[in-house]
Amino acid sequence: MPRDAKKLQRYRAMRSPEVTNEPFGYDTAETFPEKRAHGAYVVHLHDATRRHYDVRLEIGGELLSFAVPHGPSLDPSKKHLAVNTEVHPIEYLEFEDVIPKGEYGGGAMIAWDRGAVTYLEGPPEEEMATGKLHVELHGMKLRGRWAFVKLAKSAKGNEWLLFKKDDESANPGRDLLAELPRSVLSGLTVEELLERDAIGDRFLARAKALGATKLTTSFVTSRRPALAAIAGAKKPGSKAPLPPSLFDAELGGIRVLAARDGDVVTLRRWAGAAGEDVEAYYPETVRALRALPLSSVVLEGELIAFDPSGHPSRALLARRARSFASEGALRATTETPVILVVTDVLAAGDLDTRPLPIEDRRALALLLLPSIGFLRAASPLEGDEATLLEAMASLGIASAIAKPKGAPYDDGGWQRLETGVAPPSLTPIRHESTREVNVTNREKVYWPGDPTYTKGDLVDYYAAVADVLVPFLKSRPVILTRYPDGIEGKSFFQWNVPAGMPPWIRTLVLDRHEHLKRVFLVDDAATLLYVANLGCIPLHVLAARASSREEADFATIDFDVKQSTLTDAITLARTLHRILDQIGLPGFPKTSGQSGLHVLIPLGPGQSFDTARALAELLGRLLVERHPDIATMERVVGKRGDKVYVDTVQTGTSRAIVAPYSVRAVPGATVSAPLAWSEVNAKLDPRAFTIATMPKRLAKHGDRLAGLLEARPDVPAAVAALSSLVVARLTP
């Protein structure tokens, strides 16, 4: 069942996408069955004009929303007004931020509770129509049965009452709202959300006051310190005395190093010496780390799934890892949420907290993290070893780690202690994933007019050219430009991969303007389809591979004809071809897919961007020298006149060019078409290459780019030959 855009019409009409930071309902490619008995829910605390709680329940793939001024009460006699408001996009489950002033709902909004909802009396759409809705909530804070009942006398027709049904989770004496005011994501109160930065600064000042030191460069660049070693088990009753220690129960979860740097979060676990990055499987942990008031932080913790009675369950965790592949991220995270129980703080901001005594590091964890939420600070146990082990044994806990007081991280002599309880069989956790892409909204018109093309046509085109396109894209950072409503709708660059990305997709972390960004690597046809299904029309790539980011494997000469003619660009491209022949370099012409022409010059491995740029620049100058009447390298648009702009600055470590075979977001659905040099002539018509014609052309002529990736030209010899051409020109 594809998403129904009509449901979000009202929501979108009330908000400006340029101003608000709220989701617009474009970010997920998951699909949802129309009618189901279970779903996800979120309760926001929203400090808008009037403070209220927003209870949002997943129904039919989006979120039914009620604004509840007094919030949910555990007292069944308290029936609170709940105003049915506009349907919100499913992505709103993750939302927590300060909505800009002046926008609809401007003000701070925290995710106060999250969990799963069960609809008790049939499909919720049908029950709603009768003016009632009976639900059971399985949340971090709210539990048990609840009812929404529509007010018969509601003037506006949108007024309901929300109340607790009388069951074992009802508790008239308990005020949950006052008792647990914090976000389950950031751990902040709604007031604190407004001063996140100040709170982050205060945390860092506290760490500094405790004696945290400046991080060394090696820590920053590796961002991967090793987890502290744990010495083998000490049997119960063994006489060797322990130094005074803190004790952490082992809960049978996955021990990970969690690191956040800006938007980029990694969760790394170790199986023996080999590390495995598992963050793609735990989007709720990633989201919560991104919500913290610290833009960079490194934590140690255990990923744990708790059973309904609140006990950590290894079997549940294993099931969660399996269900992630079969059920998708939303179902898995809703039905079996995973909590990161944090036992240590290794770094925060630009501070290294590892030298601090463990007591101080634990105090920092408790200062940063809430008691209930996707991230929690573990409470270490203190006291007599024998008594503690006995207590743990009575809870069925098989082992604990003793951590000597006063010791810095990884110098502490951590030791595993057995309680005497037989250790549970450690079900191996395998992160499985299937490579399936559900294409959504196939019929949506992306190119209106004549001919009309749909989103399905776009995805089918990329599937048809995958064999020739994927080898070019492989290991190359790709930057997405998304057009979720087609070429006439809004578009946006997406530097970071979206939340909910399938775990089998490879990504690369790029340093961009001192912030880390995680981008796609399109290494197989499935990833290409995934990207196309996000509504990404053109694919822009860097001229480098992930493994050698400082090396350019091709240079680009771009003949930009906005103010001139294609005929002149063709003349210049043919001259460039002769020059390249003379200096022993191959060149591969292609249409840009819009009006211009590109020539890609493969450089083979080992060439720096400086070399590539210098080469492009020399070639450009030579072209302008030979054709001063039709070519210019003038950067200022107004000074170019009607000449072809020979753009040689497309070669740079962060410059992205449109990939060959890439579709363009222009009428006609043209594509960037690789050409034979014999086709670079007066008859060339770039508009002839479209998503409809390119697959046939490929079948007939094969890949005109064949040879580009294998080329190993003698670049130094070519540069020398080129220099002598330039010198020859200068010498009368």
In the complex, the smallest distance separating the C-beta of residue 44 from Mn ion, rounded to whole angstroms, is: 7
In the complex, the smallest distance separating the C-beta of residue 192 from Mn ion, rounded to whole angstroms, is: 18
User: Greatest CA span in the chain, whole angstroms?
Assistant: 100
In the complex, the smallest distance separating the C-beta of residue 71 from Mn ion, rounded to whole angstroms, is: 12
Q: Which of 359, 365, 354 is nearest to 410 (CA)?
A: 354
Residue whose CB is less far from Mn ion, 46 or 260? 46
Residue whose CB is less far from Mn ion, 82 or 305? 82
In the complex, the smallest distance separating the C-beta of residue 85 from Mn ion, rounded to whole angstroms, is: 7
In the complex, the smallest distance separating the C-beta of residue 104 from Mn ion, rounded to whole angstroms, is: 9
Can you tell me whether residue 525 is helix, strand or coil? Answer: helix
Residue whose CB is less far from Mn ion, 58 or 647? 58
In the complex, the smallest distance separating the C-beta of residue 48 from Mn ion, rounded to whole angstroms, is: 6
Sequence-ordered list of residues with C-beta below 8 angstroms from that of 410, at least 6 positions apart, any chain? 225, 226, 227, 228, 229, 354
Residue whose CB is less far from Mn ion, 81 or 421? 81
In the complex, the smallest distance separating the C-beta of residue 201 from Mn ion, rounded to whole angstroms, is: 29
In the complex, the smallest distance separating the C-beta of residue 595 from Mn ion, rounded to whole angstroms, is: 47
What is the binding site for Mn ion (CB under 5 A)? 46, 54
Residue whose CB is less far from Mn ion, 159 or 201? 159
The C-alpha atoms of residue 491 and residue 441 are separated, in whole angstroms, by 17
The C-alpha atoms of residue 580 and residue 597 are separated, in whole angstroms, by 16
Sequence-ordered list of residues with C-beta below 8 angstroms from that of 290, at least 6 positions apart, any chain? 260, 263, 265
Pairing, β 339-348 against β 375-377: parallel
Residue whose CB is less far from Mn ion, 160 or 447? 160
The C-alpha atoms of residue 577 and residue 464 are separated, in whole angstroms, by 30
In the complex, the smallest distance separating the C-beta of residue 99 from Mn ion, rounded to whole angstroms, is: 9
> What single string gives the DSSP state of each residue in 279-320?
GGG-HHHHHHHHHSS-SEEEEEEEEE-B-TTS-B-HHHHHHH
Angle, CA of 720, 722 and 726, to the nearest 5°: 115
Q: Closest CB to Mn ion belongs to which residue? A: 46
Cβ distance 696 to 624 under 8 Å?
no
In the complex, the smallest distance separating the C-beta of residue 50 from Mn ion, rounded to whole angstroms, is: 9
Amino acid identity for residue 366 in this structure: L
Sequence-ordered list of residues with C-beta below 8 angstroms from that of 307, at least 6 positions apart, any chain? 313, 316
Residue whose CB is less far from Mn ion, 86 or 360? 86
Residue 23 CB neighbours (<10 A): 21
Can you tell me whether residue 480 is helix, strand or coil? Answer: strand
Place of tokens 């919500």: 291
The C-alpha atoms of residue 560 and residue 630 are separated, in whole angstroms, by 12
Q: Computed from CA positions of residues 580, 585, 588, 594, in that sequence, does the dihedral angle turn out positive or negative?
A: negative
User: In whole angstroms, how large is the CA radius of gyration of the chain?
Assistant: 30
Pairing, β 554-560 against β 597-602: antiparallel
Residue whose CB is less far from Mn ion, 54 or 560? 54
Place of tokens 């106060």: 112
In the complex, the smallest distance separating the C-beta of residue 53 from Mn ion, rounded to whole angstroms, is: 8
Q: If you ran DSSP here, which 8-state letter would residue 223 be given?
A: -
Residue whose CB is less far from Mn ion, 51 or 515? 51
In the complex, the smallest distance separating the C-beta of residue 662 from Mn ion, rounded to whole angstroms, is: 41
Residue whose CB is less far from Mn ion, 95 or 588? 95
In the complex, the smallest distance separating the C-beta of residue 22 from Mn ion, rounded to whole angstroms, is: 11
In the complex, the smallest distance separating the C-beta of residue 52 from Mn ion, rounded to whole angstroms, is: 6
Residue whose CB is less far from Mn ion, 104 or 270? 104
The C-alpha atoms of residue 548 and residue 546 are separated, in whole angstroms, by 6
In the complex, the smallest distance separating the C-beta of residue 76 from Mn ion, rounded to whole angstroms, is: 25
The C-alpha atoms of residue 190 and residue 109 are separated, in whole angstroms, by 6
Cβ distance 36 to 60 under 8 Å?
no
Residue whose CB is less far from Mn ion, 83 or 366? 83
Residue whose CB is less far from Mn ion, 54 or 344? 54
Token pair listed for 294: 């610290």
Cβ distance 384 to 400 under 8 Å?
no
The C-alpha atoms of residue 508 and residue 497 are separated, in whole angstroms, by 10
Residue whose CB is less far from Mn ion, 190 or 264? 190
Residue whose CB is less far from Mn ion, 103 or 634? 103
Can you tell me whether residue 577 is helix, strand or coil? Answer: helix
Respond yes or no on whether the N-terminal peptide bond of residue 451 is cis (omega within 30° of 0): yes
What DSSP element (H or E) covers 220?
A: helix 217-222
Question: How deeply is 379 buried, as exposed, middle or buried, from its count of CB atoms within 10 A (0-12, 13-18, 19+)?
Answer: middle
